[in-house]
Structure 1
């Protein structure tokens, strides 16, 4: 695996999780990684690097100057533990031994993400309520190279903690996920961004025609991953897939 740009002297739990996920993909013979990236925030590099809490404090001080962010409350756990990675990303597929597996993720640093504008998800048929909801979203993960039309989002609601995590699918719209932000990172590290994994954490059934391919991807992931990445526990994912089939 290509080493990350910059080094964190004492990576925290979530930094280790994401960097390990990248390493696991890059060193697995049954996985072909076409793109990968891991960039450390410059202020966090080296033994005297800024802590996650210090990075968050700087960001939130600036946020108070913006009307749309002034009343946003960030969960203290995110403040203390959000990865100090400016961006971490991978685009991959299974080789001949696992040809039915594909995946991608592209995760920006959390406090950078909330400063970005809302992604352009509304269309001419969106209702006023839908537009209001979509305007509160900021992208925390996506598939720029796969072009799946799926992104993961944090919802910025004033005086609300923990912040809600949603996913967007161009075919089915916005779906709330049964995860907080750090839980999202935990699940991402296990699934490696296998296309469609987020649906395991929504209330939707995977029995319908629209999500049949997603169900097949989840079956393939849970067939192959215990052998490819045996260091992880897939019990929770299996249970969630069974509940949706």
Structure 2
């Protein structure tokens, strides 16, 4: 049996905690096969460099999952709490070699088309179909690619986190819809973001009760800062 890497164990612990908690309804749960040819994150990064000439920061070793796919779509449906979320983490080795997502329309400006052509999807919402996804932006051989969040109902926003920070925040938020906006310059005080903000507030009220050993104070402070 393949020994799980530390981050893989964290991801499976997350899915197990949601699967077995009575307050969560699980809509879908997907766990793909694991890459048994590469024993650790360093081997994955070496293959990315060899195959695609992209040399990523060695720090990425600590946040690599070798599962071809690991995702979950969940909800809490209670009289006072209606909360939903989804994550669908893809294997970074596959991500780098993937094609860009089809985001451009007939009226998309050339500069925006070029931006989209650099995207490779690391996390999306295939079960709920919310039209949101997170991508790394491949530019040459950058060791720390930018992260961008796309929302078909709103716009595309550069995120203020790197890949490993993204994964750390995903573990904490459990993929609650819109959590990525906490780390963008999106105008969260605008009316168009009212539903997103309400969901984030509800998450920060509810999750400390469900997960008392996790620290949500940084996310609470981040939301307060974004709403100033």
TM-score normalized with structure 2 length: 0.93
Equivalent residue for 1:78, pick from 46, 51, 60: 60
- Say if 2:213 is the partner of 1:231: yes
Query: TM-score, normalization: structure 1?
Result: 0.87
| 1-structure distance, mates of 2:145, 2:10 | 21
Shift of 1:205: 2.6
Alignment of 1:94-173 (within 5 A): 94-96=76-78, 99-173=81-155
Structure 2 residue 67 is the aligned partner of structure 1 residue 54: no
Structure 1 position 8 matched with structure 2 position 2: yes
What is aligned with 1:178? 160
Q: Which runs of 5+ in 1 are unaligned?
A: 1-6, 64-69
Please give the alpha-carbon distance, in whole angstroms, between the structure 2 residues aligned to 1:21 and 1:147: 22
**Per-residue deviation, 1:90:** 0.1
Match of 1:39 among 28, 32, 39: 32
Secondary structure at the residue paired with 1:139? strand
Residue in structure 1 matched with residue 201 of structure 2 by the alignment: 219
Cα distance in 2 for partners of 1:97, 1:229 equals: 20
Unmatched segments (≥5 aa) in structure 2: none
Q: How many Å separate the matches in 2 of 1:50 and 1:13?
A: 12
* One of 18, 28, 35 as aligned partner of 2:21: 28
Contact map agreement 2:7 2:62 (CA 8 A) in 1 = no
Q: Residues 30 and 98 of structure 1 are in contact (CA less than 8 Å); yes or no, is this contact kept in structure 2?
A: no
The list of structure 1 runs, each at least 4 consecutive aligned residues, that deviate by more than 4 angstroms after superposition, is none
Instruction: Answer yes or no: is the 8 Å Cα contact 1:206–1:215 preserved in 2.
Output: yes
SS at match of 2:97: coil
User: For residues 110 and 166 of structure 1, what CA distance do their matches in structure 2 show?
Assistant: 16
- The structural deviation recorded for 1:137 is 0.3
Deviations along 1:161-186, one digit per CA (max 9) or x if unpaired, are 31111100112221011111111110
Among 92, 102, 113, the alignment partner of 2:74 is 92
In the alignment, the residues of structure 2 paired with residue 18 and residue 118 of structure 1 have an alpha-carbon distance, to the nearest angstrom, of 25
| 2: CA distance, partners of 1:205 / 1:197 | 14
Q: How large is the RMSD of aligned CA atoms in angstroms?
A: 1.7
For residues 139 and 97 of structure 1, the distance between their equivalents in structure 2, rounded to whole angstroms, comes to 35
Q: Which one scores higher on RCO, CA 8 angstroms, separation ≥ 6?
A: 1
Secondary structure of 1:85 counterpart: coil
Q: Give deviations 1:141-169, integer Å, cap 9, x for gaps.
A: 11111111110010001132311111001
